[in-house]
Structures are given as C-alpha cells and as structure tokens.
C-alpha cells in the first residue's frame, strides 16, 4: 500500500483524451483531497513542439505518488523514441499487471515490463535489422518473485517459448526455481498454446507470468473474454513508482467521436485506489460499472449506444447515489 496524495494525469493522444477525463472525474469525486495535475506528453505534443516529453514533464511524473495515463500514439518515424517505454524504464516500472475478470474466472497476467523484445536495443541496416531480446537474471528473478507473491495460494502459470528460444529456457527455469522457493504451486505452458487455452478454459488460470512482448499479446487476446480492449486496465508497478493505464492504445480510428469505452480507464483508476489502500473506493468503481451495465447503459463496442461522456456521467451518478 502506498501513500497517495498527488496524481499526475496524462491524457496522451487519441481516445486517451476522452477516456482519462472520465476516470479523473471519478478520482476527484472519491478523493477530493488528492492533488491531480495534468502533464502533457505524447505524439500530438511532439508534432507541435518537436518533443514528445520534456525533462520537466518527466520530472513532474517522477514527483507524483501515482500516474494515471491514457494512451500514446507511436508513429513509425525513425528518430521517435517511445515515450511509454522510456517512462517504464526510467521509473523502473518492472511489473505490468493486467487483471482479466469475468463470469467464473479471475486471471492476473504479470508481464515483465522493461526487457525482452522491448529492450530497445536495436539496429537497422540496409540488409538486416536486429532487436536484442535481453533477459537478465536480476529482472527474471524480480518478476518471478513479484508473480509468486501475487499468486500466494493460487496456481502460477509460466508462459514461454522454451522449445525454440534459449532465453526462454533461462526465464522458465528461474520462474520455476522462484516458485519452488516460495512454495507456490506452478506449471508452465508454451505461449502460443496458452493464448488459445486461456480462451477455451479461462477458469483454469489464476496468475500468469511471462516476458514483455508475450504478455502484451496475451493480454490483448484475453480481452476477448471480457468484451474487448475497452475493458482491460493495467498497473505498471516499480519499487518507487506506480503508473496506471488502460491496456488499449490511442485507437486513432475512433478518436474524437465520443464513442470510446471508458471502462478500462475507470478500472485503471480503481487499480490506482487499490494501490493507495482504498479498497472500498476501488470496489465502488467496479460496482458502479456493473450497475450501469445492468441498466443497459453501454458504449458502442459492447453493443450499446451511449457515448464516452454519457457513460462517465452514469458512473458519477451511481457513485453519487452510493454516497461517495
Ligand atoms: P497501439 O499500437 O497503441 O496498441 P492501436 O490503435 O494499434 O494502438 P488500440 O488503440 O489498442 O490499438 O486499439 C485497437 C482497436 O480496438 C482500435 O482501433 C479500436 O477500434 C478498438 N478499441 C481500443 N480501445 C477501445 C476503447 N476504449 N473503446 C472502444 N474500442 C476500442
């Protein structure tokens, strides 16, 4: 549990500008004592100023007790360095936690967040391009211990591709060792088979630990279980910083039309409150989402017709009724 007084609010690009204000209003209602301050980073800022994130912006993010983040568009411009990868690395946010909950299943995907194929160690030449898949013992042990701790009495599943990559033999064996030291019940699956089996038998999985890109893919796959990308939140956790964001990206195809589903952003705010130790506040957000759904109030991606803002108003109304 962390002491949270100040929260940096980063809307970012695309639908981040629509879903984050909904989540911010809920935080304002539940915690009027929080100091919420906006920080502008992202592709739109880069287009305007030539810089996606200034040193001052990064210092502001670093100063916050928690960060609520929307989404950032990463263009395929040669010199553009991903802001999100920089923040994860520089704030040492080593664990990406993605809960996927539904009828009869409760899965938490724990993704190693700063190495693997997203290590950023790359070279592009005329005739070949390489990306180094770096896995260090330190990070593998750290993520394995984190996942074991989260699993407790539940089963831990390791997702890997050890039949093809030696780096995943390394990862799998470290995870198996840490699970045995922690006394956590553990099994392992090849990541491609795991992607399918999670969809077929979601109740068989509890906590899944995997490497960076596999975790990115697995969580998008698992979004199918709960109605799509608009539903899944994530927490990026480090030893000194915490950062909460929807799993989805900036979705330029639907941006600016008030149709984006703000549930992932609301659930990210709920994870932030859980991190801050406000379990009742976190539960109240989930409860309000379920009540609003039960009234048939849903955004377009879930077969409904209300807009992002109207969905947010319904949540605020519900939380108001509940005496928040
Ligand atoms: P990134 O590369 O950052 O992941 P992307 O545009 O490839 O970005 P997403 O933004 O994650 O991928 O979204 C993929 C598609 O899923 C979007 O184009 C959009 O149609 C849909 N989608 C994502 N988030 C939402 C949301 N909150 N509400 C409704 N639809 C969404």
Residues 108 and 233 in one domain: yes
Cβ–ligand 1 distance for 230 under 6 Å, the answer yes
The pLDDT, as a whole number, for residue 324 is 61
Q: What is the dihedral of CA 163, 166, 171, 173, to 10 degrees?
A: 70
Q: Give distance in angstroms: CA of 231 to centre of ligand 1.
A: 11
- Which pTM does this prediction carry? 0.93
Instruction: Give the pair of three-digit tokens for residue 242.
Output: 């915490």
- Report the SS3 class of residue 283: helix
Looking at the predicted structure, is the pLDDT value of residue 168 above 90? yes
pLDDT recorded at residue 50: 87
The pLDDT value given to residue 28: 96
**Higher-pLDDT residue of 219, 322:** 219
Boundary (domain end) residue, out of 213, 237, 261 = 237
Q: Which atom of ligand 1 is nearest to the CA of 252?
A: 6
Average pLDDT, the chain: 95
SS3 52: coil
pLDDT tens for 277-304 read 999 999 999 999 999 999 999 999 999 9
Predicted local distance difference test score (pLDDT) of residue 1: 74
Q: What is the percent of the chain with per-residue pLDDT over 90, rounded to a whole number?
A: 89
Q: What is the pLDDT of residue 323?
A: 66
Residues 89 and 108 in one domain: no
Q: How far is the CA of 70 from the centre of ligand 1 (A)?
A: 12
Q: What is the Cα–Cα distance from 254 to 256, expressed in whole angstroms?
A: 7
The residue with greater pLDDT, 170 or 324, is 170
CA separation for the pair 157, 166 (Å, rounded): 19
Domain match, 113 and 233 both? yes
> How far is the centre of ligand 1, averaged over its atoms, from the C-alpha of 321 (Å)?
32
Answer yes or no: do 232 and 102 share one domain: yes
Ligand 1 atom nearest the C-alpha of 248 is 11
Residues 187, 216: one domain?
A: yes
Residues 64 and 40 occupy one common structural domain:
yes
Residue to probe by mutation, ligand 1, list 21, 229, 311, most atoms within 8 Å of CB: 229
User: Please, are residues 213 and 118 in contact by the beta-carbon 8 Å criterion?
Assistant: yes
pLDDT of residue 295: 96
| Host domain of residue 85 | 1-93+240-324
pLDDT bracket for residue 74 (50, 70, 90): confident
Question: Is 264's C-beta closer than 6 angstroms to any atom of ligand 1?
Answer: yes
* pLDDT value, residue 81: 74
Nearest CA to ligand 1 atom 13: 251
Domain closes at, from 212, 237, 262: 237
Domain shared by 302 and 211, yes or no: no
Atom of ligand 1 nearest to the CA of 251: 10
pLDDT at 10: 98
Pocket mutation for ligand 1, best pick of 217, 251, 253 (most atoms within 8 Å of C-beta): 251
Distance CA 304, CA 319 (A): 21
Atom of ligand 1 nearest to the CA of 262: 27
Could you give the number of structural domains in the chain? 2
Q: Are residues 165 and 298 in the same domain?
A: no
For residue 106, which of 261, 222, 209, 221 has the smallest C-alpha distance? 222
Which atom of ligand 1 lies closest to the CA of 71? Answer: 3
Point out the domain boundary residue: 189, 208, 237.
237
For residues 121 and 131, give the distance between their C-alpha atoms in angstroms, rounded to a whole number: 6
CB-CB contact of 44 with 85 (8 Å)? no
Q: Mean per-residue pLDDT for 208-213?
A: 98
Q: What is the pLDDT of residue 181?
A: 98
Centre of ligand 1 to C-alpha 109, Å, is 19
Name which of 196, 284, 228 is nearest 100 in CA terms. 228
Cα separation, 69 vs 133, in Å, equals: 26
Q: Could you tell me if 231 and 273 lie in one domain?
A: no
Question: How far does the centroid of ligand 1 lie from the alpha carbon of residue 87, in Å?
Answer: 21
Give the CATH number of the domain where residue 269 resides.
Answer: 3.40.718.10
Using the 8-state DSSP alphabet, how is residue 81 labeled?
Answer: P
% the chain with pLDDT above 70: 98
Same domain, residue pair 294 and 228:
no
- Element containing residue 113 per DSSP (H, E): none
Same domain, 131 and 232: yes
Q: What is the mean pLDDT of residues 91-105?
A: 96
Q: Do 99 and 202 share a domain, yes or no?
A: yes
Residue with tokens 């605020």: 316
Residue 267 CA to ligand 1 center (angstroms) comes to 16
Q: For 108-160, how does the pLDDT look when each residue is reduced to its tens digit (9 = 90+)?
A: 999 999 999 998 899 999 999 999 999 999 999 999 999 999 999 999 999 99
Q: Where are the beta strands (DSSP E) in the chain?
A: 6-12, 35-38, 66-71, 95-102, 105-112, 122-124, 129-131, 156-160, 186-190, 207-210, 233-237, 242-246
């Amino acid at each position: 549990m962390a002491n949270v007084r100040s929260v940096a609010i980063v809307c970012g690009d695309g639908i981040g500008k629509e879903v984050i204000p909904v989540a911010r209003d809920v935080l304002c209602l539940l915690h009027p004592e929080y100091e919420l301050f906006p920080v502008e980073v992202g592709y739109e800022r880069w287009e305007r100023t030539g810089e996606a994130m200034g040193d001052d912006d990064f210092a502001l993010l670093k100063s916050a007790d928690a960060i609520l983040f929307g989404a950032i568009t990463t263009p395929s411009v040669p010199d553009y360095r991903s802001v999100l990868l920089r923040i994860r690395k520089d704030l040492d946010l080593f664990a990406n936690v993605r809960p996927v909950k539904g009828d009869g299943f409760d899965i938490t995907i724990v993704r190693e967040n700063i190495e693997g194929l997203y290590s950023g160690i790359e070279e592009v030449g005329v005739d070949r391009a390489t990306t180094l898949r770096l896995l260090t013992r330190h990070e593998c042990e750290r993520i394995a211990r984190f996942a074991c701790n989260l699993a407790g009495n539940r089963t831990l599943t390791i997702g890997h591709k050890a039949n093809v990559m030696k780096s995943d033999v390394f990862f799998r064996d470290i995870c198996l060792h840490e699970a045995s030291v922690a006394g956590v019940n553990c099994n392992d699956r090849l990541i491609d088979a795991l992607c399918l089996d999670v969809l077929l038998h979601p109740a068989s999985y509890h906590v899944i630990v995997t490497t960076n890109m596999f975790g990115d893919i697995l969580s998008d796959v698992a979004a199918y279980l709960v109605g799509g990308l608009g539903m899944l939140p994530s927490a990026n956790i480090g030893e000194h910083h915490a950062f909460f964001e929807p799993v989805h990206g900036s979705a330029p195809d639907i941006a600016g039309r008030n149709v984006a589903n703000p549930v992932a952003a609301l659930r990210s705010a709920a994870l932030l409150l859980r991190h801050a130790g406000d379990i009742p506040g976190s539960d109240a957000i989930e409860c309000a989402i379920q009540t609003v759904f039960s009234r048939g109030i849903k955004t377009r991606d879930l077969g409904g017709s209300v807009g992002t803002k109207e969905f947010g108003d319904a949540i605020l109304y519900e939380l108001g009724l509940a005496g928040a």
